[in-house]
Amino acid sequence: MNGFEWFIPVILTVITAATPLVFAGIGELVTEKSGVLNLGIEGMMIVGAVAAFITATLTGNYLLAVVVAALSGAFMAFLFGILTLSLMANQVATGLALTLFGIGLSALIGQDFVGEPVQAIAKLNIGGLSDLPVIGPILFGQDPLVYLSFLMVFLVSWFLFKTKAGLILRAVGDSHDAAHSIGYSVIGIRYAAVMFGGAMSGIGGAYLSLAYTPMWAENMTAGRGWIALALIVFATWKPGLVLVGAYMFGGITILQLHAQAAGLDIPSQILSMLPYLATIVVLVVISKDESRIRKHAPACIGKIFHPAA
């Protein structure tokens, strides 16, 4: 058993670092599949994080906290929808605005809660199963949101590729004019997809403030929303690969914790740079093949839809 002693805590921290990325990434994937590019993930995540934290502190009800986070993320996304879908504003600029606004708003509503402690979300404990060596804590000892994140990847994958509704959503993303002329409500479907993305980002934020580091601090998302965006390019818009990518980034993120524990003499700042540098490297490697990106990216992504009368 000796060889595994370091292994279990490493895997466990990788899981906690990856889960917020899984949520944010899978939500944005659905948004992008419908042809909308929402760069405001960071803003929706941070609002979700503060909403969840405040709800959990005030009520002690974690289920409610996660629901509130999802609703606030969806609300932020709804604002994005009003601007980009109804008022046809530029999606890139609006996404940036959503992030700047979300960071400001979360700092304002969270200011009385900075530094307050909160109990981390409870881990599952299924008696004997969770006590099994090695696989017990990894497979049966996670908090409920980790299982939910896997379930969401599965559900999104099934929805997009095995259901008619998913096919319609992809059609809207690939050719909004065609979808419109068949009679589907392009704008309505996009509102739904954008708000689903917002809800998932909100839950991703909730995971940060309730499980990853159970506390609230301004700007605590620290660029994870942007990393989630890069993940989708990495995954070439495939749900399963979003999961793989999130765990890869989770692994890089926690490298700093364990490198320091292992006594490696590397300045913490260099180690903290790794996730951001890795994101750049991954983007470069994936984007190099332009035709591959073009083949997989939704054709209408970022384009404004205005039905000609």
Partner 1 sequence: MLLKIEKRPESSHSMVYVTPILALLLTVLTGIVLFKILGVDPIEALKNFFIVPINNQYGATELLVKATPLILCAIGLSVGFRANVWNIGAEGQLTLGAIFGGGVFIYFHDVDSVFLLPIMIVMGAIGGALWGAIPAFLKTRFNANEILTSLMLVYVALLLLSLLVHGSWKDPDGYNFPESRIFSDSATMPILLEGTRLHFGTILALLAALGTWFMLGKTLVGFQIKVIGAAPKAGSYAGFSQKKIVWFCLLFGGAMAGIAGVSEVAGPVGQLLPSISPGYGFTAIIVAFLGRLHPVGIIFAGLLMALTYLGGETAQINLGLPVAVTGVFQGMILFYLLACDVLVNYRFRLARFGKAAS
- Residues lying near partner 1 in the complex (CB under 8 A): 39, 79, 82-83, 87-90, 92-94, 96-98, 100-105, 107-108, 111, 218, 222-223, 226-227, 229-230, 233, 267, 269-270, 272-273, 276-277, 279-280, 283-284, 287-288, 290, 293, 306, 309
Distance (Å, whole) CA 40 – CA 104: 13
SS3 of 124, please? coil
Torsion, Cα of 267, 116, 15, 194 (10° steps):
-110
Least separation in angstroms between residue 222's CB and partner 1 is 7
Least separation in angstroms between residue 2's CB and partner 1 is 36
Least separation in angstroms between residue 228's CB and partner 1 is 10
How many CA atoms are closer than 13 Å to the CA of 115, on its beta-carbon side?
2
Residues contacting residue 32 through CB under 8 Å, at least 6 positions apart: 38, 173, 232, 237, 297, 298, 301
Choose between 111 and 163: whose C-beta lies nearer to partner 1.
111
- Which amino acid would we find at residue 308? A
Least separation in angstroms between residue 17's CB and partner 1 is 16
Choose between 159 and 212: whose C-beta lies nearer to partner 1.
212
Q: Which of 47, 41, 51, 1 is nearest to 21 (CA)?
A: 41
CA distances from 125 to 56, 122, 146, 281 (A): 21, 9, 14, 39
Least separation in angstroms between residue 96's CB and partner 1 is 6
Choose between 121 and 297: whose C-beta lies nearer to partner 1.
297
Choose between 262 and 284: whose C-beta lies nearer to partner 1.
284
Least separation in angstroms between residue 167's CB and partner 1 is 28
Least separation in angstroms between residue 249's CB and partner 1 is 12
Element (H, E) at 198: helix 186-207
- Which amino acid would we find at residue 280? I
Choose between 140 and 305: whose C-beta lies nearer to partner 1.
305
Choose between 135 and 292: whose C-beta lies nearer to partner 1.
292
Which DSSP letter does residue 132 get? S
Residue with tokens 């765990």: 247
Choose between 5 and 290: whose C-beta lies nearer to partner 1.
290
DSSP one-letter string for 50-119: HHHHHHHHHH--HHHHHHHHHHHHHHHHHHHHIIIIIS---HHHHHHHHHHHHHHHHHHHHGGGTT---P
